[in-house]
A and B are shown apart, each in its own frame.
Chain A
Amino acid sequence: MNNDIFKLGGLEFNSRLLTGTGKYADDSVIPDVCEASGSQIITVALRRVDLESDTGNVMDFIPKHMQLLPNTSGARTAEEAVRIARLAKAMGCGDWIKIEVISDNKYLLPDGYETAKATEILAKEGFVVLPYVNADLYIARSLVDAGAAAVMPLGAPIGTNRGLKTREMVRILIDEIDLPIIVDAGIGRPSEACEAMEMGADACLVNTAIATASNPKMMAKAFGRAVKAGREAYLSGPGAKHSHAKASSPLTGFLHEG
């Protein structure tokens, strides 16, 4: 397990939990959350970044060792997402970008078509593109073709804490897509992150469930452990499920003896 390296965007990580920076009562808790969770990748909405501010800039609280993953929150079209990505790069936020294109403020569901368009443009420009999408095989395939570095299907609508509602669709993506699958959005409890990892997801991104917990630091720790536990379970090759009981000493075992 010590050699279980998570490779993403040409880099290697020891943690498979990605965290976020939104919705905290106080950004100063972010370093504690990062430490407790063990996370090494953190997403930040560029629209909240205020490099001109003397105090209170969210970037001040992100530990230097973290891989920064700016996101395009607020983008309604591919064009806006591309502009935000370029702005993030110009502001010194690096060349990793999480594409979020949402043009429905009621349900906050991602627009797959616009996401694929933005992914294609930005991947060609050399960005490490991590698109947030519905758990849909066709969209995922188009993202592979577009040059995405990973596919980030939602577990449930963003911010809902409803859990892994797209379980079967995520399972198909894990089976069929030859890119890291990072379950993003909707995961509300560590057990749900654990389940996603047990299924074979490569990583989970959790923000709301940690940020809105009564004790974000403790919840971050719980998520860090759950993701690790789920990964270990997956790597250990869980026994197959059966619809009826199977004896540990098969009744017909004697037929193969001698």
Chain B
Amino acid sequence: MSFYPICAEYNDAPLAEQFGSVTEHDVRRALNKTTLSPEDFLALLSPAAIPFLEEMAAKASQLTLQHFGRTIQLFTPLYMANFCTNKCVYCGFNTKNNIPRSQLGPEELEKEAKAIAATGLKHLLILTGDARAKSSPEYIESAVEILRKHFPSVSIEIYAMTEEEYGRQVEAGVDGMTMFQETYNEELYPDLHPAGPKADYRFRLDAPERACQAGMRVVNIGALLGLDEWQHDALKTGIHAAYLQDKYPEVDIAVSLPRIRTHVGDAFTPKSLVSDTALVQNMLALRIFLPRCGITISTREAPDFRENILPLGVTRMSAGVSTEVGGHTGEDEDKVSQFDISDERSVDEMCEVLRKHGYQPVFKDWHPLQEAS
């Protein structure tokens, strides 16, 4: 079994027509249900739901408070390498972009880890470009060994792996993985990913499921909103999350909602403009459809916006972010980021803001079990 045939059905469906035909009655019905079907989720993502945003917000807010309380888990990304063999037309790490490339060695990694750990953060997300020859699974495993001395929770956001490779990462101490499908639109996908291993749509689509099968504790998925019509990718992301949640109930399924950002060498125009209202509608619909699902909002979003959406469904936020390789120690002025961030506040500043809004920043929400056996 795979999510592929389910996704293919949605890819083949006349989605624009379906979104356009949703009525006020459909939205009300979805809002009054406790367990929503994919059709209800579609209704909440449709233009017909816009007049109901406040009602949706009230429901999403109540569900978030009930299941997660007034807490926000904080994490930060650590870019270990920016070598990449892909030609993703919207990404700063695109192999065609003439940028300085680098990869952290063990000593640099230790330095970065110490710098991040000094901020108090305990959840770390490590990233590399898609370059197996440079950032091999072995390289990542050895990095995890170093990082686990400083962080109880290390997640990976790297190229798609086989189930066996994910299993090895779990063995090495990785407890979470993030995989962005970028767009679920199979027809559009090759235009955005013209070359490189990432061009294999299906291998990437099934990666989160392989991670579930390999025993990953947290699996985080998402689309890069704006590559396709945002409602279409939002719908398929939610259906994908529901599929994984139903099939792998022991895995904590989470969704990230990144909007496309500008980056170095930018000549790409997104297909769909994702307004603040659209992103909020997406988050509310997702929360109401999947009340227990983790929702991540990154520093791609502006400070004010991140603060305003706190009660609406978000459960994880990045803080103290650098999207450059070695960016946390800041020793190299020439480094290039993968994309521009909007919220440059430090971890301390983020904590202060969260507390000001009545939220507890949670640094540690996992205790690794390996040592105890």
- A residues with CB within 8 A of B: 22-27, 46-50, 53-56, 74, 76, 80, 83-84, 86-87, 90, 103-106, 108, 159-161, 208, 211-212
B246: which A residues are within 8 A, CB to CB?
A: 106
Q: Hey, which chain A residues are within 8 Å of B69, CB to CB?
A: 22-25, 208, 211-212
Max chain A CB contacts within 10 Å: which of B71, B122, B253, B355? Answer: B71
CB of A50 within 8 A of CB of B70, answer: no
Contact B253 A105 (CB under 8 A): yes
User: Is B367 a contact of A84 with CB atoms below 8 Å?
Assistant: yes
Known: A47-B365, A74-B367, A104-B249. A161 touches B66 (CB 8 A): yes
Q: Which residues of B contact A50 (CB under 8 A)?
A: 122, 363-364
Q: Which residue of B lies closest to A162 (CB)?
A: B66
Shortest beta-carbon distance from A171 to chain B in Å? 26
A47 close to B66 (CB less than 8 A): no
Is the CB–CB distance between B250 and A105 below 8 Å? yes
* In the complex, chain B residues whose CB is within 8 Å of the CB of A26: 355, 358, 360
B65, B358, B360 — which one has the most chain A CB atoms within 10 A of its CB? B360
- Provide a sorted-by-A list of 5 A–B residue pairs whose CB atoms are within 8 angstroms: A22-B71, A25-B70, A47-B366, A83-B369, A103-B250
Closest Cβ neighbor of B122 among chain A residues = A50
**In the complex, what residues of B have CB within 8 A of residue A86's CB?**
372
A106–B69 CA distance with the chains assembled, in angstroms: 16
A25 and B360 form a contact (CB under 8 A):
yes
Interface residue? B362 (CB, 8 A): yes
A46 to B372, CA, bound (A): 13
**Does A106 lie within 8 Å of B292, measured CB to CB?**
yes
B95 to chain A, nearest CB (A): 38
Whether, in the assembled complex, B190 has its beta carbon less than 8 Å from a beta carbon of chain A, the answer is: no
Is B373 an interface position by the 8 A CB rule?
yes
Residues of A within 8 A of B363 (CB): 50, 53, 56
Whether a CB of chain A sits under 8 angstroms from the CB of B245 is yes
Alpha-carbon distance between A80 and B71 when the two chains are bound, in angstroms: 25
- Known contacts A53-B363, A56-B363, A159-B67; A76/B250 CB under 8 A: yes
Q: Mark B66-99, 1 if CB is under 8 A from A, else 0.
A: 1111110000000000000000000000000000
Top-10 shortest CB links A-B: A23-B69, A25-B70, A104-B249, A103-B250, A83-B372, A50-B364, A47-B367, A83-B369, A25-B358, A76-B250
Please report the number of residue pairs spanning A and B whose Cβ atoms sit closer than 8 angstroms. Answer: 85
In whole angstroms, what is the CA distance A159 to B69 when docked?
Answer: 9
Instruction: List the A side residues contacting B369 at CB < 8 Å.
Output: 80, 83-84, 87
Question: Which single residue of chain B is at the shortest CB-CB distance from A212?
Answer: B65
Q: Which of B252, B362, B367 contacts A105 (CB 8 A)?
A: B252
Check if A53 sits within 8 Å of B250, measured CB to CB. no
C-alpha spacing A108/B292, complex, angstroms: 9
Given contacts A105-B249, A211-B69, contact A48 B358 (CB under 8 A): no
Contact of B249 among A53, A74, A80, A106 (CB under 8 A): A106
Q: Using a CB-CB cutoff of 8 Å, which residues 328-361 of chain B contact chain A?
A: 355, 358-361
- Residues in chain A near residue B253, CB distance under 8 A: 105
Determine which residue in B70, B361, B362, B364 has the highest number of CB atoms from chain A within 10 A of its CB, and name it: B364
Q: A53-B120, A83-B369, A87-B367 are in contact. Are A105 and B358 (CB under 8 A)?
A: no
Closest approach, in angstroms, between the C-beta of B178 and any C-beta of chain A?
17
Closest to B242 in A: A106
Closest to A111 in B: B250
For the complex, give the distance between the alpha carbons of A54 and B117 in Å: 12
Query: How far, in angstroms, from A208 to B122 measured CA to CA in the complex?
Result: 25
Q: Known contacts A50-B122, A53-B120, A53-B364; is A105 also within 8 Å of B245 by CB?
A: yes
Q: Find the B residue at minimum CB distance from A158.
A: B67
| Contact A48 to B245, CB < 8 A, known contacts A25-B359, A212-B66 | no
Q: Across the interface, do A208 and B66 meet the contact criterion of CB distance under 8 Å? A: yes
